Chains A and B, each alone.
Chain A
Amino acid sequence: MIPANYFMILSVILFVLGAVAFFIKRDLITMFMAVEVMLNAANLAFIALTRSANSLDGQVIVFFIITVAAAEAAVGLAIILLIFRQKKTIKTEDIKLMKG
Chain B
Amino acid sequence: MTDIFWLIPFVPALSTFILAVFGKKLPKKYVSFQACFAVFGSFFIAAISFMGLLQTSHESYPLVKNIFSWINAGSFNVNLSLQFDPLSAVMALVVSGVGFIIHVYSVGYMADDEGYTRYFTYLNLFTFAMLILVMASNVVLMFVGWEGVGLCSYLLIGFWFEKHSAANAGKKAFIVNRIGDAGFLLGIMFIFIHIGSGEFTAINEAIGGGAVTQGLATLIAILLFVGATGKSAQIPLYVWLPDAMEGPTPVSALIHAATMVTAGVYMVARMNLLYSLSGTAAQIVAIVGAVTAVYAATMALTQNDIKRVLAYSTISQIGYMFIGCGVGAYGAGMFHLYTHAFFKSLLFLAAGSVMHALSGEVDMKKMGGLRKYIPLTYSTFLIGAIAIAGVPFLSGFFSKDAILTSAYANGYYFVWALGILGAVMTAFYMFRLIFLTFHGQERLAPEVKAHIHESPPVMTIPLALLAFFSVVAGYVGLPVVAGENLNFFGNFLEPVLRGGHEAHISHNLEWILIGISIGVAFLGIIIAWVFYIKSPRIPEKLRTRFPRIYKLLYNKYYMDEIYNAAFVNPTVRGSEIIYDNFDLKIIDGAVNGTAKVTGSSGKILSYFQSGLIKDYALIFLIGVIIFLGYLIIF
Contacts and interface: CB of A to CB of B under 8 A. Distances in A.
Contacts of A95: 611-613
Contacts, number: 31
A93 B612 contact: yes
B632 interface: no
B276 to A, nearest CB: 81
Nearest to B606: A100
B614 A92 contact: yes
A95 B611 CA distance: 7
Nearest to B605: A100
B611 to A, nearest CB: 3
B617 A99 contact: no
B613 A99 contact: no
Interface residues of B, number: 13
A56 to B, nearest CB: 26
A22 B620 CA distance: 13
A99 B621 contact: no
Contacts of A100: 605-611
B606 A92 contact: no
Nearest to A97: B611
Nearest to A23: B614
A98 B609 contact: yes
B611 A98 contact: yes
Interface in B608-634: 608-614, 617-618, 621
A11 B238 CA distance: 99
A36 to B, nearest CB: 15
A96 interface: yes
Contacts of A31: 613
A19 interface: yes
Nearest to B613: A92
Contacts of B609: 98-100
B610 A22 contact: no
A62 to B, nearest CB: 21
Contact of A96 (B605, B606, B612): B612
A31 B616 CA distance: 14
A95 B607 CA distance: 16
Contacts of B606: 100
B497 to A, nearest CB: 82
Interface in A64-100: 92-93, 95-100
A23 B611 contact: no
Contact of B617 (A23, A93, A98): A23
Interface residues of A, number: 12
B320 to A, nearest CB: 80
Contacts of A98: 609, 611
A96 B618 contact: no
B519 to A, nearest CB: 96
Nearest to B617: A22
A83 B290 CA distance: 96
Nearest to B612: A96
Contacts of A92: 612-614
Most-contacted residue by chain A among B605, B614, B618, B621 (CB, 10 A): B614
Interface string A14-37: 000001001100000001000000
A66 to B, nearest CB: 23
B612 A23 contact: no
B599 to A, nearest CB: 13
B621 A19 contact: yes
A31 B617 CA distance: 11
Contacts of B607: 100
Interface string B580-620: 00000000000000000000000001111111111001100
Nearest to A22: B617
Nearest to B602: A100
A95 B613 CA distance: 8
B614 A99 contact: no
Contacts of B614: 22-23, 92
A31 B618 CA distance: 13
B526 to A, nearest CB: 94
Most-contacted residue by chain A among B605, B609, B610, B613 (CB, 10 A): B613
Contacts of A22: 614, 617
A98 B612 CA distance: 8
B611 A96 contact: yes
Contacts of B618: 23
Nearest to B621: A19
22 contacts: A22-B614, A22-B617, A23-B614, A23-B617, A23-B618, A31-B613, A92-B612, A92-B613, A93-B612, A95-B611, A95-B612, A95-B613, A96-B610, A96-B611, A98-B609, A99-B609, A99-B610, A99-B611, A99-B612, A100-B606, A100-B609, A100-B611
Given A23-B614, A92-B612, A100-B607, 18 more contacts: A19-B621, A22-B614, A22-B617, A23-B618, A31-B613, A92-B613, A92-B614, A93-B612, A95-B611, A95-B613, A96-B611, A98-B609, A99-B609, A99-B612, A100-B605, A100-B606, A100-B610, A100-B611
Interface of B: 605-614, 617-618, 621
Closest 9 pairs (CB-CB, A-B) = A100-B609, A96-B611, A99-B611, A100-B606, A98-B611, A96-B612, A92-B613, A99-B610, A23-B614
